[in-house]
Each structure stands twice: as C-alpha cells, then as structure tokens.
C-alpha cells in the first residue's frame, strides 16, 4: 500500500518505519524542515531501541521517505495516518489544533478517495471533527462527493519497546464509520494489518467513538494501577511492611497479575499524565465527576516528591553543602523522554533546599539539559549547583548519597564496594526498588527504598504493639 504518515514524531516515526518494514511504500511528513533534513541524512531525532537501524534499512530500500511538502504527501498515500501531537491544553483537555489542521490539509489537496486514520491519541468525538474539517474543504473546492473514510486506530506503544509492540501487537483496535465507505475502510485496514493476523486474529473492530475511548481507558487503567501501588507502598513504609513481597503476593492472583504494580517515584512521559487529565476533562464536559481519575493524578503528583521527603527526613530540611549523585533522568529506561519525568521534580526540590546535584543518564542527557534548564529559568543561582556528568561513576565522586530515579539496566548490579568507596557516606535513596534492602545493609549501606519497610521500623512497631497490648 501507499501510505502517508502526517507527523514524524514518536508515534509517526515508529508507525511509518514499521509499516515500511512490512513492505509498504511510506512517505512521512513533518512541517519541521530541520527534522526532515535530519531524517533524510540518516539522523533520528528521538531515541528508541532498534528504530535507527530500521529507518536506515527501509530508507535505503526506497520504501521510507521523508518530506515537508504537504500537497505531495496528500497526493501520495491512499491511506493517510494522522500522527501529530495532542498536547494538553491549559484546562487539561487535548489540544486538537494539529489534528484538525492535518485534516484540513487533506481536504485541501486530495484529488482521489482517501482513508484517513487517526493514530494520534484523541478524545471521543474527534473522528467527527476530522470528517467535518475534510468535508468543509471539499465543499469549498466544489468536490463534495469525493469519497473519504475516517478511521480510529489508536496506538498502544510503550516507549523503549515500541518496535516490539508494533510488530507483535496484543490487539489492533480499528474504529470505522457506518455505511459502505466505512466497510471498505475496515477491509483496507484488515489488509494492511494482515501480517499480524495470520496465526491469530488480533483485530478488534468497533465504532469510532469506542476506539477513541479505548485508548484513554487503557492508559487510565495502567496509571491507576501505578498510583494505587504507590499509595500502598507509602502505607507499607508506615506500617513496616515490604511492598515487594506484597506485590508478589497479590500479583500471583491471575485476576490481578504483575504488570504495572511496581512501586516507585510515579509515572511520567507523554501519555499517562496528559491522557488522565484529558479523560477527566471529557468527564467534566458531560457533567460527571471522575473521582478515581482525580485521585490517580493527585497521588502521582505527590509520589514524585517521595524521594525528597525521605532525603529531608534523613538530613533535615536544609540541604546546603550536601551533594547528591543522581542516576537516571528519563521518565523510564530505553528512552530519552523527559516529559513529566520525576527526576525533574527531584532535582528542582533538592536545588531549592541548597543541595548540589551530579546527574547522569545513559541516553537522556541532552534532553535533560533542555528540560531542566527550562524548569530553572528563573533560578540562575540554582543552575550553578547542577552538573551533568559523563558516567555513573563520576556522579558518585565525593557525593554524600546516591539517588536512583530511573531503572536503567546499567544501574541494576553496580559494584557496591566501589560505590561505597566513592561516596562520602554509604547512603542510597532508591526510587525504583532495584536493590535488596538486607543485602545492602549487610554491606554497611543506609538504604531507603519505596515501601520496603526498614528493619528498625518493623522492630519499633512490634515493640509498640507489644507495649500497647
């Protein structure tokens, strides 16, 4: 098939590249001429494992091309994927200006029937807005009968595993309109995704509104599990329980499972924060109060400060003169995405209390510099106490403690003897529960994790209970 991808960001690049890998002829559009120049020169503006190699292979084979020519991109593809950003508006709702603009451009330049696929994460009702925008342009051009169909085909890609998720999907959601055009679009989408359905039909056909809603519902559910587990972890710290053992205990129940039950410093990235907010906004528009979603967001907001609270409990509110090594800046491993990353909150709050920070991330250093520089735009003095260092060992030198924020594999099994020797004191604040508390304490570390229940806390609680009994 001939396919146009409108928007060469994260979703667009992964979608276009993977469809080209399956043998389709793909043209990716982006209005950022600098980005298109980079892509045509073999550079990839985002980090995603395996993506650069796939782009190089398909670009060399002529199946994947990049352009900033809107008219050419509309003329090219029989199927037009809209994969532009939908950032949160000031009120938390999804900003659809780029989606609607893409739809208008399709209507402005199309001269043959098109299938227009919403790949962007959009609220219920967007399919109708896309249809309206395209039809308005066709009417203006005196081509009211030129056929097109609108499809909702939400993405379910995890950053850091997007290629695997696309090439081995657990489900493919396709929402189509009623009528003959919708039926033809459904059949075309089934043909496009046929390589994924030969052994097992993963396609879920539904109406457009249900497909749009499915994406938000999925992300809201996952975000809920994270916030729920983090709230339990904070309670586990208070009562002296070990949340890791609790996770194993409840995760073994097949009705619950283990996915997204890891306690930590909260979720970030481009999806969960904005999608939860957008779903809340949609509910408000229909006169409903989404109490669970509001709680999910509130818990996550506070959880990003849990490490700082532990640090303050250990050292006191004034951290002047202290230096902290910080491992991990991206919101999750295998990505350079700094959007809503917990590390940004941790860094800003430590600097506000007078501390110095030596930070390292295997991939996200450049994005982190830009993001944190924006966060500290009004605090030039604080900036002087933040240092981005070239490796994790350098971050440790003469630091008072180590803070782990992102669970990169390279952080999982460090030489703890060397870590202790490099630090002024053997203190670790682990925001991802990478290490075993008892093992580190036997090595002489003071170890603070999320919901792992310090031994001295357990002993104090037991004594208290025995005394009160």
Which are the catalytic amino acids? 271
CA distance 149 to 377: 46
Contact in structure between 360 and 389 (CB atoms under 8 Å)? yes
Determine the 3-state secondary structure of 445 from DSSP. coil
Three-state secondary-structure class, residue 353: coil
By CB neighbour count within 10 A (0-12 exposed, 13-18 middle, 19+ buried), where does 403 fall? buried
> Residue 431 corresponds to which tokens in the numbers above?
């925001």
CB 418: neighbour CB atoms within 10 A? 11
Quickly list H helices, 256-337.
272-285, 291-303, 306-315
Report whether 59 contacts 65 (CB < 8 A).
yes
Q: Which residue has the tokens 């900003």?
A: 95
Separation of alpha carbons 16 and 337, rounded Å: 20
List, in order, residues 6 or more apart from 200 with CB less than 8 Å away.
none
Helix (H, G, I), strand (E, B) or coil at 379: coil
Are 160 and 333 contacting, i.e. CB atoms less than 8 angstroms apart? yes
CA angle 167, 168, 174 (to 5 degrees): 85
Report yes or no: 87 and 10 within 8 Å, Cβ to Cβ: no
Q: Which structure tokens are listed for 114?
A: 């098109």
First to last CA, the chain: 74
Return the bridge partners of 386, or none: 357
DSSP H/E element including 181: helix 180-192
Apex CA 429: angle with CA 423 and CA 432, to 5°?
A: 130
Task: Retrieve residue 373's tokens.
Answer: 């520089």
Q: Which ranges constitute the DSSP H helices of 359-423?
A: 365-375, 380-383, 392-396, 416-422
């Amino acid at each position: 098939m001939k396919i146009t991808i409108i928007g060469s960001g994260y979703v667009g690049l992964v979608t276009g590249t993977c469809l080209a890998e399956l043998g389709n002829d793909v043209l990716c559009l982006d209005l950022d001429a600098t980005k298109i120049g980079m892509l045509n020169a073999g550079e990839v503006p985002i980090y995603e494992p395996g993506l650069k190699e796939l782009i190089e292979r398909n670009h060399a084979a002529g199946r994947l091309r990049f352009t900033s020519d809107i008219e050419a991109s509309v003329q090219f593809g029989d199927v037009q994927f809209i994969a532009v950003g939908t950032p949160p508006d000031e009120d938390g709702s999804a900003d659809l200006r780029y989606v609607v603009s893409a739809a208008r451009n399709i209507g402005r330049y199309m001269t043959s029937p098109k299938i227009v696929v919403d790949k962007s994460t959009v609220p219920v009702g967007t399919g109708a807005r896309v249809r309206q925008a395209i039809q308005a342009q066709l009417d203006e051009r005196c081509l009211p009968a030129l056929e097109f169909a609108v499809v909702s085909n939400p993405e379910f890609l995890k950053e850091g595993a997007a290629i695997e998720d696309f090439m081995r999907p657990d489900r493919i959601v396709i929402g189509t309109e009623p009528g003959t055009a919708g039926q033809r679009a459904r059949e075309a989408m089934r043909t496009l995704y046929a390589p994924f359905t030969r052994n097992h039909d993963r396609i879920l056909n539904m109406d457009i509104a249900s497909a749009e809603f499915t994406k938000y519902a999925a992300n809201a559910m996952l975000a809920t599990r994270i916030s729920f587990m983090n709230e339990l972890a904070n309670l586990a710290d208070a009562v002296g329980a070990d949340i890791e053992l609790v996770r194993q205990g409840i995760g073994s129940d097949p009705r619950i499972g283990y996915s997204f039950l890891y306690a930590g410093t909260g979720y970030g990235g481009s999806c969960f924060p904005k999608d939860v907010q957008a779903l809340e906004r949609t509910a408000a528009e229909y006169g409903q109060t989404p109490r669970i979603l509001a709680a999910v967001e509130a818990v996550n907001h506070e959880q990003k400060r849990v490490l700082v609270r532990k640090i303050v409990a250990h050292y006191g509110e004034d951290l002047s003169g202290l230096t902290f090594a910080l491992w991990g800046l991206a919101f999750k491993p295998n990505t350079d995405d700094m959007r809503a990353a917990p590390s940004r909150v941790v860094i800003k709050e430590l600097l506000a209390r007078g501390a110095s920070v030596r930070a390292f991330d295997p991939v996200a250093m450049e994005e982190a510099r830009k993001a944190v520089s924006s966060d500290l735009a009004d605090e030039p003095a604080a900036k002087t106490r933040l240092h981005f260092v070239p490796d994790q060992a350098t971050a440790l030198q003469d630091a008072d403690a180590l803070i782990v924020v992102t669970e990169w594999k390279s952080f999982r099994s460090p030489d703890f003897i060397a870590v202790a020797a490099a630090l002024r004191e053997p203190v670790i604040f682990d925001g991802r529960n990478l290490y075993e508390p008892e093992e580190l304490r036997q090595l002489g570390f003071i170890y603070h994790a999320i919901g792992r229940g310090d031994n001295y806390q357990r002993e104090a609680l037991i004594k208290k209970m025995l005394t009160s009994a």
